[in-house]
Amino acid sequence: GMSQRLGTTLTEQTRSTHENLSKLQERLAVIDAAQGNIQDLAKDVIGLQAILSNKQTRGAFGQARMEALIADALPSGTYQLQPTLSNGFRPDCTIKMPNNAPVLVIDAKFPLEAWNALKADESPEAKRAATQQFRRDMEVHIRDVSEKYLIPGETQDTAFIFVPSESIFADIHQHFEFLVQRAHRSRVVIVSPSLLMLSIQVIQSVLKDQRMREQAHLIQGEVALLMDDVRRLDERTRKLQTHFGQAQRDVEMMLTSSEKVLARGDKIESLDFSTTTKEIPHSEVEHMRRIADARAGAAKLRVVDDE
């Protein structure tokens, strides 16, 4: 019996151990999948860091975000990407303005190396050096945009520098107010994604108003043609009213004549021809002839009116 119980116990322990190992294997598989996701995320973060650490790839990253914002808000024919100006320089984007006004230039490059060094957890001396470097980089970038992209008669007297981050934009306005003032004096405006979207919406409203004004003369021409048709309709209605009035007067004259004829007939009917034959006076015969002529004339007028 002890051997039987021992065998049963070993069998149960073996089955329990097998089940626990199966569950442990499933959990290890889940952990392996999570580790794989973490590794993929780490690769993406490293790739993003590589993008933001390289000037060209960083510029492409900022330009891609700017292009996405502009493409969502404006029609394809109202902006150009990487156009060439008359001085040979190529801004990231230009937006056409209404009334054939000069285009608006948007630059998507932003000096991020000094900004990353400024936000790194380093010594105060390193932060001071990073602050000075960021200030110099921004001043140089503002000067380049002002000198390269502000062309009288070809571009607007104000250009945009696009910052692809709301937090960086807020930090610049909070801790580097002198850079913002420097940009304003150079006729350059630093914009975040939300401010760029707001500016594009304003430009879109202005373009819509311009298109409506361009179509206003067509609408006025159609209204003038409509008024001419209404005037002709009024004239023809008045003529028809005149014909109806004349026809009514003719009918009234016919009724008057018919009443006279009936009255003459009553008089003739009341005469007694049994004893004495009385000749109809010549005046009455003439009057009856005039009545017949009037009725014939009224019939002719009615035929003319019907035609």
pLDDT digits 0-9 by tens, 78-105? 788 888 888 888 888 888 887 777 888 8
Cα(245)–Cα(248) distance, rounded to whole angstroms? 5
Check whether 44 has a pLDDT greater than 70: no
pLDDT for residue 114: 66
Residue type, 206: V
Q: What is the pLDDT of residues 222-271, one digit of tens each?
A: 888 888 888 888 888 888 888 888 888 888 888 888 888 888 887 887 77
The pLDDT mean for the chain works out to: 78
Give φ, ψ of 79 to 5 degrees. Answer: -150, 160
Q: Which amino acid is at 117?
A: A
pLDDT band at 213, cuts 50/70/90?
confident
Give the C-alpha separation, 307 to 300, whole Å. Answer: 11
Non-local (6+) Cβ contacts of 153 within 8 A are: 102
pLDDT tier at 57 (50, 70, 90 boundaries)?
very low
| Entry pTM | 0.49
Tell me the range of 147-151, 276-280, 286-290 where mean pLDDT is highest: 147-151
Q: What is the pLDDT of residues 190-203, one digit of tens each?
A: 888 888 888 888 87
Give the other-Cβ count within 10 Å of 192's Cβ.
19
Q: How confident is the model at residue 153 (pLDDT cuts 50, 70, 90)?
A: confident
Tokens read off for 284: 């009455």
pLDDT cut 90: percent of the chain above it: 0
Q: How far is CA 113 from CA 80, 92, 130, 188, 273, in A?
A: 28, 20, 9, 21, 137
